[in-house]
Chain A
Amino acid sequence: MSQTTPALELKNLSVAYGAIRALNDLNLTVDKGEIVTLIGANGAGKSTTLRAISRIVNPSQGQILIDGQDVTRQPPDAIVRMGIAHVPEGRRVLARQTVEDNLFLGAYVRNDNKAAIQGDIHKQYERFPRLRERRTQLAGTLSGGEQQMLAIARALMSRPRILLLDEPSLGLAPLIVREIFSIIRELNREGVTILLVEQNAQLALQTASRGYVLEAGDCTISGPASELARDERVRKAYLG
């Protein structure tokens, strides 16, 4: 038994979409303050894992624990209230609303006063100055990199303790990817626990302390990121 309760723990988690078994018996822990990565090929079940944690898909079996508390039957808004924010694959900004309204809606579950929320919006603008320039623009008009920044900033507006990131590098130019990943590390240094899903295994393993490899819904290998990066099977399949 470990001494401290993990920030996030998945026990024997399985998810099926009808007859398609997307995830089988996943066991995974993320300790407070860690960056943990989940890597694997397209269709391996990575996004499904994050969707199950956010409770927008129902697990067919298993448990999800946040700070040791079972949340497997909680609705999605309860998960956000417990301090989990999810940056979905493909950013999913609200294209028909302004950048600022996207940020404002990121704070939807917060009950504190307008000034505190406005203050946090300005903090996001300091972190992502390009969003300040575009604050009154519709989010749909932003570039891919800007949308990714907005999606992360929006998630931070709920003041999460744990951030779930789904392929933040997807479709972005290398320079932008570097920028995004340096912000991910910075957030982690500020105390945010991170579960990072990536297809870009090399980058993910450089950023994370531990990793899990998913293959067709099964977790095949897990361990410290540096070991995974040296592992022959991982190198062959994901690092080229």
Chain B
Amino acid sequence: MTTNLFFQQVANGLAIGSVYAIFALGYTLIFSILGIINFAHGAVFTLGAYFTFTLTGTAFGFNGLLAQQKLPFSLWFPLALLGGALLAGLISVIIERLAFRPLRRRGADSLLTLVSSLGLAVAIVNIIQFLVGAEAYSYPSSALNDILTPFLFLFPDGKVPLALRVPLTEPPIIVRMVQVVIFATSIFILIALTYLINGTKVGKAMRAVAEDATTSSLLGISTDRLIQFTFFLSGFVGGIAGVLVGMSVGITGPYFGIAFGLKGLAVIVLGGLGSIPGAVLGGLVIGLGEALVPAEYIGYKDAVAFAVLFIVLLIRPQGLLGRVFIQKV
């Protein structure tokens, strides 16, 4: 691999890795509070992408109940993204009410919750297919304006910087604007979430519930409300991740988030279950790992996440940054 190609792939890897990171944080937030994986998180990712598509005011395809329908208005893309993420957060709250809370009330085994969240994920996929069909959608280029155009690393005078052209005969590194937008949005979300969790009252309360729910109740923290808020947050960032991936490769259909959801699991296990820095590191490692797969083996790209995971777990069973895991009682 040439130096330029290497840097090119690092740029690609960072963009997708940062999305893995924020998506995986959605799992991590819920896991650290409930000790349970939310298997419907991939479906929320899918919904975020579809809701945003809807809010751009674009018509649906020829299949499904809503064939050729569209909203009577169309939102500026950043607003559509925000709206889509909010709706995804709302759906996540509903998922908690339907699949998590009733079982928690009964003190049911966490395996049951796992199955009930998986069941809801399947239901959501089917509802999407029923409404808008199984075809792929992509955000209208009019909505994304010019962020889809590739651009070169250029100096203001129009010359390609030498450092990025080693040797000079090589093609320059091309960073797509959409990658910059994805990376910047993800980093912004990571910083905002970190502040929320460590620097605000609600964040400290979330960490309190994660550490000791009973004691949190004694302090007057309503654990149900905190859990609800956590699901909202998880759905919100999961929805944004869906939109970001949709911007890059399009919405591939109702199963859009399922494969991504599995990869997200690899990310959190790699980083260490329940660890926030672990989810970020895991996301970047897997994103970069995939990007650096040589072109001739590109068909095996999706296996990289699990290969990396397998090797790391052999050496560090608790994941890269995980605590030694103690079963929650």
A binding-site residues for B, Cβ under 8 Å: 54, 56, 75-77, 79-81, 85-86, 88, 92, 94-97, 101, 104-106, 108-109, 154, 158
Contact = CB atoms under 8 A, between A and B. Distances in A.
Given A94-B215, A97-B208, A105-B221, 6 more contacts: A76-B220, A81-B220, A97-B204, A105-B216, A106-B219, A109-B219
Contacts of B214: 56, 88, 92
Given A97-B207, A101-B204, A108 B212 contact: no
Contact of A92 (B201, B205, B215): B215
A101 B10 CA distance: 39
Classify chain B's interface size.
10 to 19
B218 A76 contact: yes
A77 B222 CA distance: 6
A75 B211 CA distance: 20
Interface of B: 201, 204-205, 207-208, 211-212, 214-222
A54 B220 CA distance: 10
B205 A108 contact: yes
Contacts of B221: 77, 105, 108
B6 to A, nearest CB: 40
B325 to A, nearest CB: 15
Contacts of A75: 222
A158 B217 contact: no
Given A94-B211, A96-B211, A97-B211, A54 B204 contact: no
Contacts of B208: 94, 97, 105
Contacts of B207: 94, 96-97
Contacts of B216: 105
The 4 closest A-B pairs by CB, nearest first: A80-B220, A109-B220, A76-B217, A77-B220
A139 B106 CA distance: 32
A88 B220 contact: no
A56 B217 contact: yes
Contacts of A101: 204
B211 A80 contact: no
Contacts of B215: 88, 92, 94
Contacts of B204: 97, 101, 104-105
A228 B212 CA distance: 37
Contacts of A85: 218
Contacts of A158: 219-220
A56 B211 CA distance: 17
B205 A105 contact: yes
19 contacts: A56-B214, A56-B217, A56-B218, A77-B220, A80-B218, A80-B219, A81-B220, A88-B214, A92-B214, A94-B212, A96-B211, A97-B207, A104-B201, A105-B208, A105-B221, A108-B205, A108-B220, A108-B221, A158-B220
